[in-house]
A and B are shown apart, each in its own frame.
Chain A
Amino acid sequence: MLYREAGQFKTSYGADQAIFPILQDRLFVFALIVLAFLAPVALAAVAPGLAQYLFTEVLIPFLVFSLAAIGLNILVGYCGQVSLGTGGFMAVGAYAAYNLWLRVPMVNDLIIVFLFGGLMAAAVGILFGLPSLRIKGFYLAVATLAAQFFLDWVVARVKWLTNYSSSGSVAVGNLTVFGIPIETPMARYLVILAVVVVLTVVAKNLVRGHIGRSWMAIRDMDIAAEIIGFRPLRTKLLAFAVSSFYVGVAGAMYGFLRLGAWEPLAFDINRSFAILFMVIIGGLGSILGSFLGAAFIVLTPIMLNQLPGWLGLRMSTALLSHLEFMVFGAMIVFFLIVEPHGLARLWAVAKEKLRLWPFPH
């Protein structure tokens, strides 16, 4: 690394168990968060057109999907329960939030709306988590796939949920947080960033405490976990609830702050797969990995799409989009071969090596 951690001794267990035990890491992350809040604001003042694109197409999707990936990672990576119902739970979050916003105008503050979306998703998550006591592994994946299809069906068929709109699409507007109107892409970005930062810290706290250990114990060896006193059903359902809460909040934010108007198709099975890929490529059982995976899945297609333009190559749109799929697919395979444990492990290994650099060991 560019720094040495030599001389940083811990004198309390609290300090030893901090999220970032090394001072430089703490400073770096703090600086990164400050930068994430301030830099786009500065950019919006200098180049509004570029900033708008950056917010809507890059940063907002990245953050929203990072949150969804953290949610799924809690379930799949930490608790070991494979789920393909992420899109469905995002839909629950989005439509629950929509209905609260629509029908109870007194509480149209976005934070409450998102919270409600998350809680409803958690409730539905618990319901669909019940089979997990009996069903494991691939079979659970199939069971959660049923959740995806069922929830898709519900939002398409139960007209009340979409306020009887003929096409099934819903739209929101006049959004506020604490009475402040959220209209510009920048404001939307800042709201999402704040929510993601808070929920990331919460997720990290959960997974490093006894609740996180109970999830990992169930993941690594459920019989032993039960014998030392963990209750499998309770532990798994808590993971389903927390995971679905995150996914639901992400779904609500995606609908309200990214799309503004959406139809059930926005949360179809492809969404579930995309988020599962983020978790696998980023690294199972890693919060950092959720961000890396989301960045990879969201940003790589954009980069590939823009790259020929930047290089001055002219090609047809059709060829470009085919190339994008091919290269993207090849990159996924490449990363999985190089590091099956995901980008987070790649990062950890690099960090470990750099720590000793220039000495081999």
Chain B
Amino acid sequence: MARTSHATAEVLLALENISLSFGGVKALTDISFDIHKGEIRAIIGPNGAGKSSMLNCINGFYHPQQGRITYKGVTRQQMRPHEAAEQGIARTFQNIALFKGMSTLDNIMTGRNLRMKTGLLAQALHWGPAQREENEHRAFVERIIDFLEIQHIRKVPVGRLPYGLQKRVELGRALAAEPELLLLDEPMAGMNLEEKQDMCRFILDVNDQFGTTICLIEHDMGVVMDISDRVVVLDYGKKIGDGTPDEVKASPEVIAAYLGTSH
């Protein structure tokens, strides 16, 4: 069944001529692409192609030496990660980066931190505004817990959860921030077929119900081709393909990068 795309023509994020290097190693070379509001945009490429570096540039963790990033019409040179978070960019990580000592509930609550404003004194008393705020955000987080079907592990420390559920909790934490742009770094890595199907369903539902723009890195070509609106292909830090899944699949350069060329 073909899904209805929510992609619009409005550009949410535009990357122009991004170059990033670490010493002599060029991680990204002159890469330009854009992400439209409401679409699911996939970044694919072989290992070491610079996909994660790309996400790190978008959310301000790396600072590219060259190039411009325009997000919601504002062009920026440098940005700290918390500024990116304040502007509505949330992400998950390739290697799960949950807070292992905390429960599922607390982990997802941390996603609300930018909206929690009560100060030290109110928190110390845990009375009035502080408690009201806590309860309001708890109610929101409970909706995410329902959405991701993880009610049963609400109070379990995430360190004790199996891999697939941890990935789901991490998605929950990113969703709790109510992001406009959600960056997913290999959301399905290491999952079995059933878990992958679940995760695909969640990603599509997030896009569908909340209208969140999603940019994901994924190695499973079946998944990428099925759920994404447009795909950008990187190889050795260079962009070698950009377009709809069908266009990308037919591109000779992409085929060469994945399958090798005959010499």
| B-binding residues in A (CB < 8 A) | 12-14, 17, 202, 205-206, 208-211, 213-214, 216-217, 219-221, 223-231, 238, 242, 285
Interface residues of B in 126-164 (CB under 8 A from A): 126, 130-131, 134-135, 138-139, 142
CB within 8 A of A210: which of B81, B98, B100, B113? B113
- Count contacts on B: residues with CB < 8 A to the other chain: 40
Q: Is the CB of B120 within 8 A of A238?
A: yes
| A-binding residues in B (CB < 8 A) | 59, 61, 81-82, 84-86, 90-91, 93, 97-102, 106, 109-114, 116, 118, 120, 123-126, 130-131, 134-135, 138-139, 142, 173-174, 177
Closest residue of B by beta carbon distance from A198: B124
A94 nearest CB across to chain B (Å): 23
Closest residue of B by beta carbon distance from A229: B85
Excluding A219-B101, A226-B82, 13 further A-B contacts by CB distance (< 8 Å) are A13-B134, A14-B131, A206-B124, A209-B126, A210-B113, A210-B123, A210-B134, A221-B97, A223-B61, A228-B90, A229-B86, A229-B177, A230-B82
Q: Is the CB of A210 within 8 A of B59?
A: no
Between A and B, 15 residue pairs with Cβ closer than 8 Å are A13-B134, A208-B126, A210-B134, A211-B123, A217-B99, A219-B101, A220-B100, A220-B101, A221-B98, A224-B97, A227-B82, A227-B91, A229-B113, A230-B82, A238-B120
Complex contacts, B135 vs chain A, CB 8 Å: 12-14, 17
Q: How many angstroms from the CA of A242 to the CA of B139 in the assembled complex?
A: 29
Closest residue of A by beta carbon distance from B89: A227
CB within 8 A of A211: which of B91, B111, B120? B120
Q: Is the CB of A227 within 8 A of B123?
A: no
B5 nearest CB across to chain A (Å): 28
Q: How many angstroms from the CA of A321 to the CA of B59 in the assembled complex?
A: 60
Q: Is the CB of B81 within 8 A of A227?
A: yes
Closest residue of A by beta carbon distance from B99: A220
Complex contacts, B111 vs chain A, CB 8 Å: 228
Q: Is the CB of A209 within 8 A of B134?
A: yes
A86 nearest CB across to chain B (Å): 21
Q: Is the CB of B124 within 8 A of A202?
A: yes
Complex contacts, B84 vs chain A, CB 8 Å: 227
B99 nearest CB across to chain A (Å): 4
CB within 8 A of A13: which of B118, B125, B139? B139
A361 nearest CB across to chain B (Å): 16
Complex contacts, B91 vs chain A, CB 8 Å: 227
Q: How many angstroms from the CA of A214 to the CA of B114 in the assembled complex?
A: 11
Complex contacts, B113 vs chain A, CB 8 Å: 210, 213-214, 217, 228-230
Q: How many angstroms from the CA of A209 to the CA of B100 in the assembled complex?
A: 17
B238 nearest CB across to chain A (Å): 26
Closest 6 CB pairs of A and B: A229-B85, A224-B97, A220-B99, A205-B126, A210-B116, A13-B138
CB within 8 A of B106: which of A216, A219, A285? A216
Q: How many angstroms from the CA of A229 to the CA of B82 in the assembled complex?
A: 4
Q: How many angstroms from the CA of A156 to the CA of B13 in the assembled complex?
A: 60
Q: Is the CB of A209 within 8 A of B130?
A: yes
- Kindly name the residue among A14, A211, A229 whose own CB sees the greatest number of chain B CB atoms within 10 A: A229
CB within 8 A of A213: which of B81, B102, B118? B102
Closest residue of B by beta carbon distance from A209: B123
Complex contacts, B130 vs chain A, CB 8 Å: 205, 209
Closest residue of B by beta carbon distance from A224: B97
Closest residue of B by beta carbon distance from A77: B101
Q: Is the CB of B123 within 8 A of A206?
A: yes
Complex contacts, A211 vs chain B, CB 8 Å: 120, 123
Q: How many angstroms from the CA of A213 to the CA of B111 in the assembled complex?
A: 10
Closest residue of B by beta carbon distance from A230: B113
Known: A227-B85, A230-B82. A205 touches B124 (CB 8 A): yes
Closest residue of B by beta carbon distance from A213: B110
Q: How many angstroms from the CA of A220 to the CA of B110 in the assembled complex?
A: 12
Closest residue of A by beta carbon distance from B97: A224
A135 nearest CB across to chain B (Å): 20
Q: Is the CB of A228 within 8 A of B123?
A: no
Complex contacts, A205 vs chain B, CB 8 Å: 123-126, 130
